[in-house]
Amino acid sequence: MEVRISQYFSTLMMIALLFTSANVFGQDQPYIEESAWSPSPQAGATDVNPVTPFRVHFSTPIDPASLTAETYLLIGPEGHPVEATVNTDLTGGVATLTPRRPLEPNTEYRLNVTSGLMSEDGVPFQTYETVYRTGDQRVEELEGFRFHGQKIAEHESNSSLGVGPDGHLYVSDTKGTITRYDLDDRGLPTGEVNKVLTLNPAQIVGFIFDPNSTAENIKIWVSYAYYYMGNYTGTISRLHLPPKNIEGDFWEEKFIIGLPHDELLHHQPNGLAFGPDNKLYQAVGGLATLGGSPNWRVEETPMSASVIVADVLNPDFNDGELPVNVRTAWPMSYDPFREDAPVRIYATGLRNAYDLVWHTNGHLYSAINQNSIPQDVYTPETDEVPAITAMPHEQLARVEEGKYYGHPNPTRGEYVLNGGNPTDGTDPWEVPEYPVGVQPEPHFDPSLIHDIRPSGGNSANGMAEFVADGSLQGRLLITYFSGGKTVYTFALDENGDVVDERPILDEEGNPYLFISPIDVAVHPKTGLIYVADFGHWVRPAIGEDGSIWVLEPAG
């Protein structure tokens, strides 16, 4: 009898063990999503660009510490791992592998994810493998793209930077501080550093010098918002700084207040740019990941996910009554569509455009970040347009007045993500999760949008035009915060379209890599490039090991 009882309990224990193993290693084990968006390039692709990063989406957020070159790797033709950088986005839902050098053409590679990769709950992922073959493209290196880097300073939580009319470098951060790094005539640091002001506890993102600013009278326009203080603290101000000022020796003019954001500032009022018309343009981030489900506990507003414009330099702006409160909710109920609105909407559907650049070719550009959350976020729905979840490629957009760039916002009657799915063929910027027949919004123009996914543009943030002499003149520079971890350049033709794209290189010809580059600026006379490296992301918006770099042409 005792033997039978012992066998009975042994059997129960074996069943329990098998049940536990099934939960860990069976259907409940986290896995790599296979969809229209993952992996990217698509599994088994046979014409892969040799400079394409490889991206996978996860069924559940990962433990970032487990993402290494041993758990996520690309194996070359001789069975050796390709030298590459691997990193995850801020949500832990996407990982990108970026080869250090272009892959060999017409060659087979295997992408592997091992069970050493863990979910944030400590559960190992299912192993995953897919085989790729590169196409016959060859990447010819151009002269003038190699740079020697020098770290100017340790500076955590950087957000934006620019060279002022006094020839010095100014850097803002997410703690509301602006710091000046003095430069010599060549644009190299002299070693003198001054904290010039603090708007504590504001998170500054937008940052640009006033067109009438001089070395004797520095004027900086900033946009900022506050954590945990509601959803309408977004502000655009002009700051006046005398030369060689010290902390506190400045004064602020608030021009626009009441701009929308979520409380944790996942997206907020972002980059600023003065246009050829001397008007101020700003990118305002979307408040819901896909425009529908309020996953950040706030719904879209009439001014979110847009580019706005205001004639702030006009002495008659809003009849001189400042600041203009553009809060669209009670008690203000501001109407940005009113014909005489002092702050109005220029373009819509920009999910989270971190920066804006008015190029010398006369076009306005922005790089747009897209969704990387794989579950429980949805687009809005109507009787004709179902709610879906999707992860589109990121975009470099030529922003034109009145156009729609793909991020839904039901408060403006915009429901369709990107190009919808109008036909059973391949449509421009189609979203295959939609049933066939879903038409794009009337003002969506795919010819204005360039796909930056092939160049690794995960979280494309800061932008600048290379205006100095040299091989890069006229190129747009864009920082890839959590994808390629580098600065990519884009050459434009006479129509403003992209005709070539390639990264800034180090002295050995590899893409110049950073921890999390968030903004870039160019010295207008010498062509030196300055990069704000945010550092390792620590919520909410603190960047450990952040730094400022200057890149000088090699040789």
- Domain boundary assignment for the chain: 54-133, 147-553
Please state, in angstroms and rounded to a whole number, the distance separating the CA atoms of residues 165 and 525.
Answer: 11
- C-alpha closest to that of 514 among 503, 524, 499, 525: 503
- Classify each residue of 345-384 as buried b or exposed e, where b means 16 or more C-beta atoms within 10 Å of its C-beta: bbbbbbbbbbbbbbbeeebbbbbbbbbbbbeebbbbeeee
The answer to whether 248 touches 214, Cβ cutoff 8 Å, is no
pLDDT at 159 (0 to 100): 95
Check for a shared fold between 54-133 and 147-553: no
pLDDT at 241 (0 to 100): 87
pLDDT at 13 (0 to 100): 41
Please state, in angstroms and rounded to a whole number, the distance separating the CA atoms of residues 530 and 524.
Answer: 11
Task: Take residue 441 and report the two structure tokens written for it.
Answer: 């919004």
10-residue stretch averages of pLDDT, the chain, 555 residues long: 37 39 54 84 90 86 91 93 84 83 92 94 94 88 93 93 96 94 95 90 95 93 94 97 69 97 93 98 97 94 98 96 97 94 98 97 96 88 96 94 98 98 96 96 98 83 95 96 89 96 92 93 96 85 91 90
Please state, in angstroms and rounded to a whole number, the distance separating the CA atoms of residues 407 and 388.
Answer: 13
Dihedrals phi, psi of 250, to nearest 5 degrees: -155, 165
pLDDT at 244 (0 to 100): 66
The answer to whether 271 touches 356, Cβ cutoff 8 Å, is yes
The answer to whether 399 touches 350, Cβ cutoff 8 Å, is yes
- C-alpha closest to that of 202 among 286, 245, 259: 259
The answer to whether the peptide bond before residue 511 is cis (omega within 30 degrees of 0) is: no
Identity at 550, one-letter amino acid code: V
Architecture label for domain 54-133 = Sandwich (2.60)
pLDDT at 59 (0 to 100): 86
| Residue in this structure with the two tokens 């910027």, named with its chain if needed | 429
Task: Take residue 459 and report the two structure tokens written for it.
Answer: 């979280």
Task: Take residue 541 and report the two structure tokens written for it.
Answer: 């918006």
- Given phi > 0 = left and psi -120 to 50 = alpha, else beta, which region is 337? alpha
Task: Take residue 339 and report the two structure tokens written for it.
Answer: 């014909």
Please state, in angstroms and rounded to a whole number, the distance separating the CA atoms of residues 451 and 248.
Answer: 44
Beta carbons within 10 angstroms of residue 165's beta carbon: 17
DSSP state of 2: H
pLDDT at 458 (0 to 100): 78
DSSP-derived pairing of the beta strands 251-259 and 324-325: parallel
Measured in Å, how far apart are the chain's first and last C-alpha atoms?
87
Residues 6+ apart with CB under 8 A from 210: 219, 220, 221, 238, 313
- C-alpha closest to that of 264 among 203, 350, 326: 203
CATH topology for 147-553 is Neuraminidase (2.120.10)
Beta carbons within 10 angstroms of residue 141's beta carbon: 11
Please state, in angstroms and rounded to a whole number, the distance separating the CA atoms of residues 58 and 29.
Answer: 11
> Please, which residues bridge with residue 154 across strands?
547
